[in-house]
Chain A
Amino acid sequence: MGLSVENLGFAYAGKTVLQDICFNAPLGKLTVLLGRNGCGKSTLLKVIAGILPLQTGCVLAAGQAIKALSGSERARLIGYLPQFHQTVFPFLVEDVVLTGRAAYVRATPSHRDIEMSRQAMETVGVEHLAGRPYTELSGGERQMVMVARVLAQNPQVILLDEPTAHLDLGNQQQLMRVLKLIVARGTTILAVLHDPNMAFLNADKIIFLNSGRITDPPENCCPWDPSFIESIYGISTVVLPYHDKAVIVPTS
């Protein structure tokens, strides 16, 4: 079932940000959302996640319309990783991950909640950080901890906003490995990335957003097609094939 979005529109202060958005992110696949800065990628993710209100259109996660769901019902279906994250209080990593269980908790977390967040930390590979204050971690470690928090939430669809921002090359690769592991277990991921090459190399499906609308590459055209890329990013590029995929390099 995955995630499907129909005719989604969003306006902010009278200005249209998103228009006629229709796409679907297939079940158990990594779908990547690409586009220029300010084209509405983060807004789209926030609307799907329920952080911003759904003004028009319909979002179906695992076959259920999210508009009809309560906050905690929605959170059990859709997990969301925001872009920037900081906190003043030096919470321990394990306590931060545990907050991902909020949709399942009445007053305080149960043993099952604790077990789920322990498993999430193991999956992401941050269990060795469990007893350290979150505020003392590096940017890469924090990002991995927040991914573990989304996993602890145990949603069927995970939305990630620039998960590789501020990560070095090694950490980017480690994160990609974790994401592939997650989709292999049947979770649907929709991620906003700023680096098209990372999308070309890792994504199962790529969606382009241009000025608030979905733009598909012309038929029989690869997403890395230079004229298509120019229409999105406004720069000319050359394509370097790599196995059955390709990366692009800007030309001067």
Chain B
Amino acid sequence: MLRPAPVIYYLLPFPVLLLSLFIGPGGGVAPADVLQALGHKLALSTLPTDSTLDMAAEVLFNIRLPRICLDFLVGGALAASGTALQAMVRNPLVSPDILGLSSGAAFGAALALTVGWLPLQPSAFFFGLLAAALSYLLAVNRRGLSIVSLVLAGIIIGGMFTALLTIVQIVNDPFKLQTIVHWTMGNLHNASWQRVRSAFLPITTGAAVLFAMRWRMNVLALGDEETRAVGLNPEREKLLLLIPATLAASAAVAVAGIIGMVGLVVPHMVRMLVGPDNTRTLPVSFVFGGTFLVLVDDLARAITTFEVPVGIFTTLIGGPFFIYLLKKSGAGFGETS
């Protein structure tokens, strides 16, 4: 009862983050240079610097490190958001992308990039929230929430926002178009400290609110009447989950595009490890989601000579996983809650 998750789960990311500093496309910077540059930065090494080392430091601190930070924030945001949405609809088969939230946020972000006068993060948040709320309201009826309706509603709403996104792409000039297309595929190769700064506040705020709600998620996951019977208002609690979950996930989409399935796969893996109690699942999901995306992005950088958008990888991993979950248990499909 309320045992925190073992500390090892929270320590796990550090070696991954550190190792990721050494990974980059094709032999640009040798591991030895990475070590030296690190040494200099931490004022451990007194060896004189030279141009190779300056280059290594530049790659390390202005390309790789912000990318790793962004991976971690984005993965953590998507996984924590997925955990919260699953508690909210009482079904483990939803995630920001399945609810159409990601498509909405992507449209909002693309719109902001195109028109120029719209602020990026608020626009992504607004349309992400609009999409998620529309899917939810379409699927809910007096008897409760059917997960089949919810997934269908998510497909429809997501499809509509994807169509709107395509319109935005068409009206753009070819140069901008390529940027937007690359970005919607879920891409982190444009990571910069500026993007980390842009995503940091909304993601940490959303995650902090979700963290404060972590036990209430357990209450809500048992049912509307069961929640009301113990004195909480389920509609209010759902909003208190939906808004921060959307804030975190749409901020992630705004800086990294649509990175599918992280919000679905990671909470599942975490539940297998620490059980369904959200007081443990939520924080561990954030940490594992971040680490997962750092790892997958390492793969995306290292496997081929050109960069495959990381969103392609996560979807290729997550798709079969989703099918497996469906086949294994039905996972509550067809049941109303």
Interface residues of A (CB under 8 A from B): 46, 49-51, 70-76, 79-82, 85-92, 94-96, 98-103, 105, 107-109, 114, 117, 130, 149-150, 153
Contacts and interface: CB of A to CB of B under 8 A. Distances in A.
Interface stretch (B7-15, B152-160, B271-279): B271-279
A87 B232 contact: no
A82 B215 contact: no
A151 B17 CA distance: 47
B58 interface: no
Nearest to A152: B230
B223 A74 contact: no
A103 B173 CA distance: 56
Contacts of B2: 98, 108-109, 114
Interface of B: 1-2, 90-92, 212, 214-216, 218-219, 221-223, 225-233, 271, 275-277, 279, 331-332, 335, 337
Contacts of A153: 230
A96 to B, nearest CB: 7
17 contacts: A49-B228, A51-B229, A70-B231, A71-B232, A75-B229, A75-B230, A75-B231, A81-B229, A82-B225, A86-B337, A87-B90, A91-B277, A95-B218, A95-B277, A99-B230, A102-B227, A149-B230
What 10 A-B pairs have minimum CB-CB distances, sorted nearest first? Answer: A75-B231, A103-B231, A72-B231, A88-B332, A102-B230, A80-B229, A89-B276, A71-B231, A99-B219, A108-B215
B212 to A, nearest CB: 5
B276 A91 contact: yes
B249 to A, nearest CB: 21
Contacts, number: 103
A85 B92 contact: no
A130 B3 CA distance: 14
Given A88-B90, A88-B337, A108-B2, A50 B228 contact: yes
B229 A79 contact: yes
Contacts of B232: 71-72, 75, 102-103
A99 B231 contact: no
Contacts of A46: 225
A71 B219 contact: no
Contact of B228 (A71, A89, A99, A108): A71
A134 B261 CA distance: 28
A245 B131 CA distance: 61
Contacts of A73: 231
Contacts of A103: 230-232
B322 to A, nearest CB: 16
Given A91-B276, A91-B277, A102 B231 contact: yes
Nearest to A117: B1
B212 A89 contact: no
B171 to A, nearest CB: 43
Contacts of B90: 87-89
Given A100-B230, A107-B215, A86 B277 contact: no
Contacts of B92: 88-89
Contacts of B331: 88
A74 B230 CA distance: 9
Given A76-B231, A98-B1, A103-B232, 6 more contacts: A75-B231, A87-B90, A87-B221, A90-B276, A95-B218, A149-B230
A95 B1 contact: yes
B178 to A, nearest CB: 43
Contacts of B332: 88
B105 to A, nearest CB: 27
A76 B2 CA distance: 22
A15 B233 CA distance: 26
Contacts of A114: 1-2
A123 to B, nearest CB: 17
B229 A92 contact: no
A105 B335 contact: no
A108 B223 CA distance: 19
Contacts of A100: 230
A72 B215 CA distance: 16
Contact of A91 (B218, B225, B228, B233): B218
Contacts of B227: 102
A91 B279 contact: no
Nearest to A72: B231
A49 B271 CA distance: 33
A18 to B, nearest CB: 18
Nearest to A99: B219
Nearest to A69: B231
A149 B222 CA distance: 12
Contact of A88 (B1, B231, B277, B335): B335
Nearest to B336: A86
Nearest to B87: A89
Given A85-B223, A86-B335, A88-B335, A74 B1 contact: no
Nearest to B224: A51
Nearest to B279: A108
Given A51-B225, A88-B337, A89-B276, A99 B218 contact: yes
